C-alpha cells in the first residue's frame, strides 16, 4: 500500500462509496488551511460523480480531529 503524506486529504472509491481521509495524526488531525481547501475539493469531486452514493470521512491515528490548527488557519480567516 502507498504511504500517504502527513497533512493531506486522501480520496478512494470503493464501489459506490467515496472515502475521504484526514492524515495529520501528529497534530491530532487538526486542519490546516490547505487541508480545508482540499477537503472542499474532495466533497466537490464526490458531488460531481453520479455513481457515488455516500461519502465517508475518516481520520488516521487515535483522534478523529482536534478541529482547526488556529496558528495556520487564523491568518486566512482574519483577511
Q: Is residue 78 part of a domain?
A: no
Q: Could you write out the DSSP letters of every residue in 19-73?
A: EEEEE-GGGTTPBPHHHHHHHHHHHHHHHH-TT--EEEEEESSS-S---B-HHHH
CATH code (residue 19) = 3.30.300.220
> Quick check: is 31 in a domain?
yes
Number of domains, the chain = 1
How high is the pLDDT of residue 15?
98
Q: Give the model confidence (pLDDT) of 35-69 as tens digits.
A: 999 999 999 999 999 999 999 999 999 999 999 99
pLDDT above 60: residue 1: no
Residue 79 pLDDT class (50, 70, 90 cuts): confident
Between the CA of residue 15 and those of 18, 24, 48, 52, 66, what are the distances in Å?
8, 26, 16, 8, 30
Mean pLDDT of all residues in the chain?
96
Mean pLDDT of 11-20: 98
Amino acid at each position: 500500500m502507498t504511504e500517504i503524506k502527513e497533512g493531506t486529504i486522501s480520496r478512494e472509491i470503493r464501489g459506490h462509496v467515496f472515502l475521504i481521509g484526514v492524515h495529520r495524526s501528529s497534530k491530532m488531525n487538526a486542519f490546516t488551511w490547505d487541508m480545508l481547501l482540499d477537503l472542499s475539493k474532495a466533497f466537490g469531486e464526490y458531488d460531481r460523480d453520479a455513481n457515488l452514493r455516500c461519502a465517508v470521512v475518516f481520520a488516521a491515528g487515535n483522534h478523529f480531529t482536534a478541529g482547526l490548527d488556529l496558528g495556520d488557519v487564523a491568518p486566512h480567516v482574519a483577511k
